[in-house]
Amino acid sequence: MAGSVTLKDIAVRVGVSRQVVATVLTGRGSARAGSVTRQQILQAAHEMGYRPHGPARSLATGKTRTIEIQAHSPGDSLYRVARHHLPVWGAVAEACQQRDYRLLLVSRQNDSNEVPLRNLLERNVDGVILMGVSDLAVLHTAREAGIPAVCINPEMARELLVEAGFDVVDFDNAGGVQQALEKLVELGHRNIGFVRGRSSNQDFEERWRAYWRFMNLNSLPVRSEFVWEAVPSFTSGRQIGEQIAVLHQKPTALLAASDALALGILHSLMKAGIAVPKEISLMGFDDVEAAAYVYPDLTTVKLDWGGLGKLGAQRLFDLLSDTGIEQPAALCRYPVHVVWRGSCEPPAY
């Protein structure tokens, strides 16, 4: 069977020593092989269906070929996961499969949980990916153990993590806001309101700063009565929509920092008899599934979580590559784009 093919079997077929075969296939050992012999060994290994034995390879290379991904569980249950974590896990799992790595999933219930720290050392993983990290304990543990680590969509300030020497992969929040506002301006809107999430969340803070910067650079008014801050939920959006409905003067367009907020606003505006987009154009941020099924369907900034996971995995494998060149910590931004739907049109005036 293919799985039972050994280095000795390949050596017998090619007519060289086992040591030469081991040197070619593992990159370790003192024996040398010419280019012709090397090609013969590689061809024989492929034709015979040779697959390296995991434990033996780990002993030879000092690597377990295991990646660990840690994610915070919302609430008090280790079995609950944020919905957006699933496509990230899938993308990382696919990247590991392509490279013949195992993937270990670890759920973190809170920052004081020591299980992830023990796993990191006891399982002897080669690298770790952290989803939504909000503390430095695991990162410092990984660094002290010489384990490469990448943060995906951390809750902490991205730039500060990079300054501390940790790699970060996240969405281009500022770029998404700029694209959204540029499209609204192209339609003719100038009085553009903004619904921001809580400033304690880095994603929402980046989106708010991008809105403020764009409006000021383009000499557009930022009116305090057209800016709201709320927990990013459908309920909060409904409440804000009710406030907008009774304003004597309303913004002609509104950008919400999350689809949950935008959908709640849409519900209240339509209930109050305010037509979207005829009276107010509305945009969200996320592209949740419901955005395409409401009426009017919601224009929004799409976040590709699977793509973000793929980028994070690529960055980790770059760090794991044995190039001998030390790679400085980096902040890698994954591009986003506006999905144009029926909730936006030129202003009525």
**Where is 85: in which H helix or E strand?**
helix 85-98
- pLDDT digits over 273-282, tens only? 999 999 999 9
Pair (145, 73) in one structural domain: yes
Rounded mean pLDDT of 177-202?
94
Based on its alpha-carbon atoms, the radius of gyration of the chain, rounded to whole angstroms, reads 26
Question: What residues contact residue 111 under an 8 Å CB cut-off, 6+ apart?
Answer: 134, 135, 137
Q: Which residues contact 237 (CB under 8 A, 6 or more apart)?
A: 195, 230, 256, 260, 261, 262, 263, 264, 265, 266, 267, 268
What is the separation of C-alpha 54 from the centre of its chain, rounded to a whole number of angstroms?
29
Whether omega for the bond prior to residue 296 falls within 30 degrees of 0, making it cis, is: yes
Rounded-to-integer distance, Cα 154 and Cα 144, Å: 20
Q: Which of 61, 79, 95 is the last residue of a domain?
A: 61
**Pick the residue with more confidence: 22 or 96?**
96
Which of the four pLDDT bands, split at 50, 70 and 90, describes residue 346? Answer: very high
Residues 222 and 284 placed together within one structural domain of the fold: yes
Which amino acid makes up residue 186? E
Residues 146 and 198 in one domain: no
Task: Calculate what percentage of the chain has a pLDDT beyond 70.
Answer: 84
- Do 128 and 225 lie in one domain? The reply is no
* Distance between CA atoms of residues 301 and 284, nearest Å: 6
| Cα torsion through 29, 33, 38, 42, rounded to 10 | -30
Structure tokens at 211: 């809105």
Q: Are strands 66-72 and 299-302 parallel, antiparallel or unpaired?
A: unpaired
Residue 345 covered by a domain: no
The lowest-confidence range among 106-115, 225-234, 300-309 is 106-115
**How is residue 272 written in tokens?**
């109050």
Predicted TM-score (pTM) of this structure: 0.78
Q: What is the pLDDT of residue 31?
A: 56
91 and 141 inside one domain? yes
Look up the domain containing 260 and give its range.
173-303
CA–CA distance, 55 with 64 (Å, rounded to integer)? 8
Give the per-residue pLDDT at 38.
82
**Would you say how long the chain is, in residues?**
349
Residue 121 is predicted with a pLDDT of 62
pLDDT in tens, 215-232: 999 999 999 999 999 999
Residue 145 is predicted with a pLDDT of: 79
Three-class secondary structure of residue 304 per DSSP:
coil
pLDDT tens track for 236-260: 999 999 999 999 999 999 999 999 9
Q: Is residue 323 part of a domain?
A: yes
User: What's the rounded Cα separation, in Å, for the pair 18 and 11?
Assistant: 5
Task: Give counts: helices (H), strands (E), the chain.
Answer: 13, 12
Strands 66-72 and 149-152: unpaired
pLDDT at 59 exceeding the cut of 70: no
- Count up the domains in the chain and report the number: 3
77, 164, 291, 342 from 339: Cα distances, Å? 34, 35, 10, 10
Question: Based on the domain organization, do 167 and 179 belong to the same domain?
Answer: no
- Tell whether 78 and 167 lie within a shared domain: yes
Q: What is the pLDDT of residue 62?
A: 54
With respect to residue 348, please indicate whether it lies within any of the assigned structural domains. Answer: no
- The average pLDDT across 304-317 equals 96
Q: What is the CATH number of the domain that holds 204?
A: 3.40.50.2300
∠ Cα 30 102 308 (to 5°): 115
Kindly state the helix (H) or strand (E) to which residue 117 belongs, with its residue range. helix 115-122
Distance CA 30, CA 20 (A): 8
- Confidence class of residue 25 from pLDDT cuts 50, 70 and 90? confident
Q: Are residues 56 and 128 in the same domain?
A: no
Average pLDDT over residues 276-296: 96
pLDDT tens-digit readout, 31-52: 566 777 888 888 888 888 876 6
What is the average per-residue pLDDT within 314-335? 85
Residue 176: CB partners within 8 Å, gap ≥ 6? 207, 210, 285, 301, 303, 336, 337, 338
Average pLDDT, the chain: 86
Same domain flag for 189 and 281:
yes
Task: Return d(Cα 223, Cα 95) in angstroms, integer.
Answer: 46
